[in-house]
Chains A and B, each alone.
Chain A
Amino acid sequence: MSPRFVDKAPFDPYDREVLTPEQERFYTASQWQLMWWRFKRHKLAVASGIILLIFYLSTLITEFIAPYDLHTRNAQFIHTPPQRVHLFHEGQFVGPFVYGFAYRLDMATLKREYTVDPNKIQRLRFFCRGDPYRFWGRFPADLHLVCPAEGGTLFLAGTDRLGRDLFSRILHGARVSLTVGLIGISVSFVLGIILGGISGYYGGWIDNVIQRLIEVIRSFPMIPLWMSLSAAMPVTWDPLWVFFGITLILGLVDWTGLARAVRSKILALREEDFAQAARLMGARPSRIIGRHLVPSFMSHLIASATLSIPGMILGETALSFLGLGVRAPITSWGVLLNDAQNVNVVALYPWLMLPVVPVVIVVLAFNFLGDGLRDAADPYS
């Protein structure tokens, strides 16, 4: 029998592994803190987040950034190509300016031809007075970030068939296109949590009914269903109402994916001790679901919600493109793309397709952001 070793020194309950300050910080960090740290490592997602933030913030001051108003028509400039901003003229620094147009009507084809006239130098003005507008539809103002020279033009993305500046219209369209996704996702978020929560928590026949309903809704091809529902909106509705109707429809069709995610999580979590404890203490189901279960996988929900916003933005674009979505005078990127509906446009006025650029950027950014959020959503893995 080997002699047992007993340490003579008194037991010190405070003696333990000493943590470095970084470790200390890491171990005591809250869950959201950990997520943030992990999210920051995902460079692409952070960049996407910043881009989206810029896009959304810009919608707050659209009228100020846009050189023209949404409806300003320049009757002499129909279907002009985009103007490029130059800094140097014949090696001489002039500051930001654009070259003016020389206009000629081709009598053989009756096509308006705008050519760049290097003699017309039109210097841009900054913080200047331009088209009057009502800021947020309320306060009259006419201050713009950038305006064309006096008597000159500034069409950074060309003009459409009524001579309206496309660049300004894209900026204005961002308001509708970007909010569609947010409102739509809120609708589907609420529906998804409520129905998914009920389905997962109660189980049994309620679960069965909701699951079958989800199955049925998913069996409909998305865009035809959207089209049918939006065609069902009365023609007499105000465009603003149509806009809200569209977002509602987008949300009503989209919630099924979220509901499934919520249900599977709740199925796994409802047997956990903390849920059991809450139940024993007499909490009502709505409290258990809303206060205890849902917050424990909220981060996952936010991530998957982010990933379904792009689908809605593309959906709105598609609907408006077909003329079944948002209607003028409310303008979205889809409404703008409506002008680019046939091959002639590609051949003659390719710049009319420019509104697709912000669509692609925003959709990509939401996808990458969602990817980053999903990776960060579970910081303990």
Chain B
Amino acid sequence: MLRYIVRRILVMIPTLVAISIITFVIIQLPPGDFLSAQLDELRAQGEGLQSDKIQYLRELYGLDRPMWQQYLYWAWGLLHGDLGYSFEYDRPVTEVIGDRIFLTFIISFATILFTWIIAFPIGVYSATHKYSWGDHGLTFLGFLGLATPNFLLALVLLYLSNVWFGTSIGGLVDPEYLDQPMSWGKFLSVLEHLWVPVVVIGTSGTAGMIRRLRANLLDELQKPYVVTARAKGLPPGRALVKYPLRMALNPFIADIGNLLPEFISGSALVAVVLSLPTTGPILVRALQTQDMYLAGSFLMLESFLVVIGVLISDLLLAWLDPRIRFGGATTR
């Protein structure tokens, strides 16, 4: 097991390097950069005051050096936790991002939990009541969740939660808690606001999860050992839970790797609509103003989250399933 973990982590390194290269290329793609745009603007206004500072930043981040040097510089900074400088916010990126990444993670995690809680009973029901009305209806509901654009669902739910429960619109806490330290009241208020994004983002992943669980469980239920168990008089509930269900549980773990990128991208959109203090709105803003270090850092960090998520799901799978542990092959 230890060997497996070490190897799995070593494999991660080149992946991360490649991700950073692609991110850097994307950062560089737009013609011109934020600084030169700002410099032009300042010149046009006849201000020479800040141009010293811009020149300083330009040198600090090596914007006038060749591309590969810039990349090395940037990557070196990444390793030391220096994500670059947000030109628009006029602060280091780490300060701007702050706990937004953390919140993104919380929401993604809550969403995965939500997906599990919803998909598990529905998947089991659909498999045990194959082709019944309940099966068809629930499957259709899952598909509907998949087909509705998240951002719109978010809007409607936001409106309804305002009308029904009087939840304040936008943000993750009520305005009165905005600058206060964490307290029980603030926590409750967060929970009150959290359900909308979690439900909305969760709907997109639930359908896939239900279908995979259903398919797996159906495969498992047709196997001879289940027939034997039934023939020997095991109660149906036990004959379902004891082995087939446990075998069919793999997708729940294996899917973390698939769901995480989906949820992070889903939350980016939903967060814009709901103006949540997660990474989404800032990313969109940064992309629109070509504040590329900020945008790049988000892209990099979110991909990093995904890689970590896949790592966790692989390790969990290996822990659950000896075939993977000893086969030595990575699953993804």
Q: A: which residues have CB within 8 A of B?
A: 212-213, 215-225, 227-229, 231-232, 234, 310, 314, 317-318, 321-324, 337, 340-343, 345-347, 353, 356, 359-360, 363-364, 367-368
| Closest chain B CB from A253 CB (angstroms) | 11
Q: Is the CB of B261 within 8 A of A218?
A: yes
The 10 closest A-B pairs by CB, nearest first: A223-B265, A232-B29, A231-B287, A363-B147, A221-B265, A221-B264, A346-B159, A216-B18, A221-B261, A364-B147
Which among B80-88, B90-98, B149-157, B186-194 touches the partner chain? B149-157
B interface SS class? helix
Q: Which residues of B contact A219 (CB under 8 A)?
A: 15, 19, 261, 303, 306-307, 310
* A-facing residues in B234-270 (Cβ within 8 Å): 261-262, 264-266, 268-269
Q: Is the CB of B306 within 8 A of A225?
A: no
Q: Which of A224, A323, A342 contacts B283 (CB 8 A)?
A: A224
Q: B: which residues have CB within 8 A of A?
A: 14-15, 18-19, 22, 26, 29-31, 143-144, 146-152, 155-156, 158-159, 162, 169, 261-262, 264-266, 268-269, 272-273, 283-284, 287-288, 290, 295, 298-299, 302-303, 306-307, 310, 332
| Closest chain A CB from B76 CB (angstroms) | 20
Interchain Cβ contacts under 8 Å between A and B, 5 examples:
A218-B261, A221-B262, A346-B156, A367-B143, A368-B143
4 new A-B contacts at CB < 8 Å, known A221-B264, A223-B269, A368-B143: A220-B19, A223-B265, A228-B26, A367-B146
Known: A216-B15, A220-B306. A228 touches B149 (CB 8 A): no
Q: Is the CB of A224 within 8 A of B162?
A: no
Q: Is the CB of A359 within 8 A of B147?
A: yes
Q: Which of A212, A224, A228 contacts B14 (CB 8 A)?
A: A212
Expressed in whole angstroms, the Cα–Cα distance for A296 and B245 within the complex equals 35
Chain B residue at smallest Cβ distance from A368: B143
Q: Is the CB of A225 within 8 A of B299?
A: yes
Chain A residue at smallest Cβ distance from B290: A231
Q: Which of A220, A318, A363, A364 contacts B261 (CB 8 A)?
A: A220
Expressed in whole angstroms, the Cα–Cα distance for A314 and B306 within the complex equals 22
Expressed in whole angstroms, the Cα–Cα distance for A218 and B131 within the complex equals 34
Q: Is the CB of A228 within 8 A of B299?
A: yes
Expressed in whole angstroms, the Cα–Cα distance for A353 and B155 within the complex equals 10
Known: A216-B22, A359-B149. A322 touches B169 (CB 8 A): no
| Closest chain B CB from A79 CB (angstroms) | 17
Expressed in whole angstroms, the Cα–Cα distance for A217 and B265 within the complex equals 14
Q: Is the CB of A215 within 8 A of B332?
A: yes
Q: Which residues of B contact A234 (CB under 8 A)?
A: 30-31
Q: Which residues of A contact B261 (CB under 8 A)?
A: 218-222
Q: Is the CB of A223 within 8 A of B266?
A: yes
Known: A222-B261, A223-B269. A318 touches B151 (CB 8 A): yes
Q: Is the CB of A220 within 8 A of B147?
A: no
Chain B residue at smallest Cβ distance from A229: B26
Expressed in whole angstroms, the Cα–Cα distance for A222 and B265 within the complex equals 6
| Closest chain B CB from A267 CB (angstroms) | 14
Q: Is the CB of B149 within 8 A of A314?
A: yes
Q: Is the CB of B269 within 8 A of A343?
A: no
Q: Which of B14, B143, B284, B310 contacts A324 (CB 8 A)?
A: B284
Expressed in whole angstroms, the Cα–Cα distance for A221 and B283 within the complex equals 13
| Closest chain A CB from B65 CB (angstroms) | 21
Q: Which residues of A contact B302 (CB under 8 A)?
A: 220-221, 224
Q: Is the CB of A221 within 8 A of B269?
A: no
Expressed in whole angstroms, the Cα–Cα distance for A350 and B191 within the complex equals 28
Q: Which residues of B contact A223 (CB under 8 A)?
A: 265-266, 268-269
Q: Which residues of B contact A323 (CB under 8 A)?
A: 288
Q: Which residues of A contact B264 (CB under 8 A)?
A: 221, 224
Chain B residue at smallest Cβ distance from A363: B147
Q: Is the CB of A341 within 8 A of B265?
A: no
Q: Which residues of A contact B152 (CB under 8 A)?
A: 337, 340, 353, 356
Known: A216-B19, A228-B299, A321-B149. A221 touches B306 (CB 8 A): yes
Q: Which of A213, A218, A220, A360 contacts B299 (CB 8 A)?
A: A220
Expressed in whole angstroms, the Cα–Cα distance for A223 and B264 within the complex equals 8
